[in-house]
Chain A
């Protein structure tokens, strides 16, 4: 008799309960805390689905960084955070919305239960791609990200840059070029400074480690980059460093480095191996690690800039 079914059922009930509490909590802070807890629990579901890569991404970006984004935003809107000028939704709307949501959920659930017995899979093609272009990579997900679906990954990096540009552009005209507001206005407590001073160097090493092992084991550019981004934000919260002005050159170079290198290597493939993103098999692993290094840089620069928000109206003295 295995214990696993019981853990599965308990975990499922927990995830659904905590998800419901993110919707039904009265206060914003309580809802965001529930959301972070929900992301942690969801990471365990991903591990049960044999997806530690996704689990780490979910825990880092889906739960940790998104939670910090919402908390920071809630604090900036603090005069109104518990106030809405809008009327509370009427009972009719609640009933209608509840029925509609329940119908969609039931339809989706039914669709899952009648999925075909012979599941379609791209795994064989991915395996071919991994043993071809992604030769020497032990982690099939990294092989898929960088070689089999390389266009997706590159465009996703470009989406990240577009989002940074959009966030910057949303600021007022006069603020262009300034630094974003500090993540923490008040002077940090000594404990906070101590924690940041200890954790930021160690965390940076761990981020690089997770990126490095990503070639052969779960981990990779996204997860490593997210951890590095978290460490940068921690340093900014403890005032070890300030948010940079958005027009400094190193920041912009770091942001575009990932997609630019990706694109250059892809174009080089046209001349070297005859098609876009084709690598000569013997060089595949070094090339992929080269691209990923710059992707880590871009992710680690973009995520904190997205959390820090638009540039500030008055320059930081």
Chain B
């Protein structure tokens, strides 16, 4: 059981890190602003989410786990809304 939890932890953190690296590569290499925005959103939501999931088994009590999940929720809400706002700015700029 411990082995499974450890495996889950390591896989989640490694894949999360991969998403951050991929998001950076996307931001640098994708051809236009909207595709770059897509890469950014993936890194924001999935990358941080997987890191948070991977850290959950390490939390000592419910409060610490709650705090870690709250951080993810904050970034989800603000990342999603900001992506909308950036998309809107892009569209009005192109008009």
Contact = CB atoms under 8 A, between A and B. Distances in A.
The answer on direct contact between A and B (beta carbons under 8 Å) is yes
A191 B85 contact: yes
B81 interface: yes
A275 B20 CA distance: 56
Nearest to A202: B74
Given A189-B84, A191-B81, A192-B81, 4 more contacts: A191-B84, A195-B77, A195-B78, A202-B74
A195 B75 CA distance: 11
Contacts of B88: 189, 191
A189 B91 CA distance: 14
A185 to B, nearest CB: 16
A16 to B, nearest CB: 20
20 contacts: A189-B84, A189-B85, A189-B88, A191-B81, A191-B84, A191-B85, A191-B88, A192-B81, A192-B85, A194-B81, A195-B77, A195-B78, A195-B81, A195-B82, A198-B77, A199-B74, A199-B77, A199-B78, A202-B70, A202-B74
A124 B74 CA distance: 40
Size category of the A interface is under 10
B72 to A, nearest CB: 13
Nearest to A198: B77
A202 B88 CA distance: 26
Contacts of A191: 81, 84-85, 88
Contacts of A198: 77
Question: Which DSSP category, helix, strand, loop or mixed, fits chain A's interface?
Answer: helix
Contacts, number: 20
Interface in A158-215: 189, 191-192, 194-195, 198-199, 202
A195 B73 CA distance: 12
A68 to B, nearest CB: 15
Interface in B54-89: 70, 74, 77-78, 81-82, 84-85, 88
Contacts of A202: 70, 74
Contacts of A194: 81
Nearest to B84: A191
A38 B88 CA distance: 27
A91 B85 CA distance: 42
Contacts of B82: 195
B81 to A, nearest CB: 4
A185 B82 CA distance: 19
A276 to B, nearest CB: 39
Please name the 6 residue pairs, one residue from A and one from B, whose CB atoms are nearest each other, closest first: A195-B81, A191-B84, A191-B81, A191-B85, A198-B77, A195-B78
A250 B89 CA distance: 37
B40 to A, nearest CB: 15
| Interface-central residue, A189, A191, A199, by most chain B CB under 10 Å | A191
B84 to A, nearest CB: 4
A199 B78 CA distance: 8
A194 B80 CA distance: 11
A202 B78 CA distance: 12
